[in-house]
Amino acid sequence: MIILGMESSCDDTGIAILENGTNLIHNKIDSQAEIHSSFGGIVPEVAARQHISSFGNLIQELKDKNLLNEIEGVAVTKGPGLAGSLLVGVNYAKSLAYSLDIPVIGVNHLSGHIHAAWINNKVTIKFPIIALLVSGGHTELILMKSHKEKILLGQTRDDAAGEVFDKVARYMDLGYPGGPLIDNNAKLSKTKKRTLPVTNIKDSLDFSFSGLKTSTIKYISDIIDEYGDLEDHTIKDICYNFQDAVVQQLLNKLMFAVDTYKPQSIIVCGGVAANSHLRFRINDTFKTPVIIPSPSLCTDNGAMIAAAAYYENSFQKKSELDLDVYPSLKLEQI
């Protein structure tokens, strides 16, 4: 089945065409990072308005390439996410599906991130699976017994991992989004030393990053108080120090989950899964097969939405022309 996937849960506008859940025919992402960088973070109203023009341009491109006639169904993110951004995507999807006389289905954004692991993947992914979903808005551990059966094992009790990357980067005036900027600076650290604390909630698979965020900001503030400013090499060392503390907590909880549930596969997904340090350390830690989507498929994109719709057999349901948005949708709610 050839599915058009549409994603607009936050600030990236994604549109893709996917065949049988794995063969990527077309994939485009219109990023708003430059627009929001001047604000130091995402402005929901600005994001929603930008999605309107972005979807118009991306769909026109499909029309110009004569790709619309191949589509058999439209899958669109229904939640979780920013209400205004979701509304733009859902209404575009319903209108397009109606005009092409094909079904439209709403997809859980979180399930989309997980199912990105199947796109252009030549390795067999065996169930049960432990999935680590780590992004700007979510940090969760999930046990998957099948494509549809997902059990939430643990989640952040405060900030998401990607969120603290952005906040720490903002405090150092590095810019937005913070994740790639911290990652690139950390690679250039000469000391590559971690002194910041690694949070551990005992006997739990839950995460907590608020304490690390506070410790890092205080650490930076103390350096500024003593020396008056942050030198370039100091920034690089701080980035490594902070990043390694985040990654170590993610690894500790993932190891705990793997030891407890004995999965046959591990999936690491979400925007933070594009982090080079996390990718290196995970592949260097586990004997169980680890599948991490390519960096371009870790961030929000339409292909992952199409993949989730395919593997969850969503098009067996009635077309959802009355589809609404669900900003607080949970992972277990398909």
Q: Are residues 99 and 41 in the same domain?
A: yes
- CA–CA distance, 11 with 13 (Å, rounded to integer): 7
pLDDT for 332 equals 79
My answer on whether 141 and 241 are in the same domain is: yes
Q: Which amino acid is at 304?
A: M
Strand partners, 73: 3
Residue 71 lies in a domain: yes
Same structural domain, 203 and 217: yes
* The pLDDT value given to residue 227: 85
**pLDDT tens figures, 227-279:** 888 899 999 999 999 999 999 999 999 999 999 999 999 999 999 999 999 99
pLDDT of residue 86: 98
pLDDT value at residue 87:
98
Residue type, 329: L
Q: Examine the domain organization and report whether 128 and 214 are in the same domain.
A: yes
Domain count, the chain: 2
Cβ-contact 226, 279 below 8 angstroms: no
Give the domain CATH number at 263: 3.30.420.40
Same-domain status, 16 and 85: yes
Residue 94: inside a domain = yes
Same domain, 235 and 250: yes
Listed in sequence order, the residues at least 6 apart from 287 whose beta carbon sits closer than 8 Å to its beta carbon are none
Is residue 106 included in any domain, yes or no? yes
Q: What is the pLDDT along the chain (334 residues), one digit of tens a residue?
A: 999 999 999 999 999 999 999 999 999 999 888 888 878 788 989 999 999 999 999 999 999 999 999 999 999 999 999 999 999 999 999 999 999 999 999 999 999 999 999 999 988 999 999 999 999 899 999 999 999 999 999 999 999 999 999 999 999 999 989 999 999 999 999 999 999 999 999 999 999 999 999 999 999 999 999 888 889 999 999 999 999 999 999 999 999 999 999 999 999 999 999 999 999 999 888 999 999 999 999 999 999 999 999 999 988 888 999 999 999 999 877 6
169 shares its domain with 149: yes
Distances (CA, A) of 328 to 11, 305, 312: 17, 17, 20
User: What pLDDT, on a 0 to 100 scale, did the predictor assign at position 283?
Assistant: 84
Same domain? 80 vs 176: no
Question: Taking the chain, what is the end-to-end CA distance rounded to the nearest angstrom?
Answer: 20
In-domain check, residue 330: no
DSSP string, 259-297: HHH--SEEEEESGGGG-HHHHHHHHTT-SS-EE---HHH
40: left (phi over 0), alpha (psi -120 to 50) or beta: left
Within-domain flag for 327: no
Tens of pLDDT, residue by residue over 93-120, are 999 999 999 999 999 999 999 999 999 9
Strands 13-19 and 290-291: unpaired
Decide: 88 and 8 in contact? Cβ < 8 Å.
yes
| Rounded Cα gap, residues 135 and 298, in angstroms | 9
Same domain for 136 and 283, yes or no, is yes
- pTM to 2 decimals? 0.94
Q: Where in the sequence is the domain holding 269, given as residue range(s)? A: 124-293
The reply to whether 95 and 128 lie within a common domain is no
Return the residue matching tokens 């349901």.
317
Instruction: For CA atoms 79, 158, 200, 240, give the dihedral sign.
Output: positive
Same domain (yes/no): 15, 152:
no
* Tokens representing residue 89 in the block: 């995507």
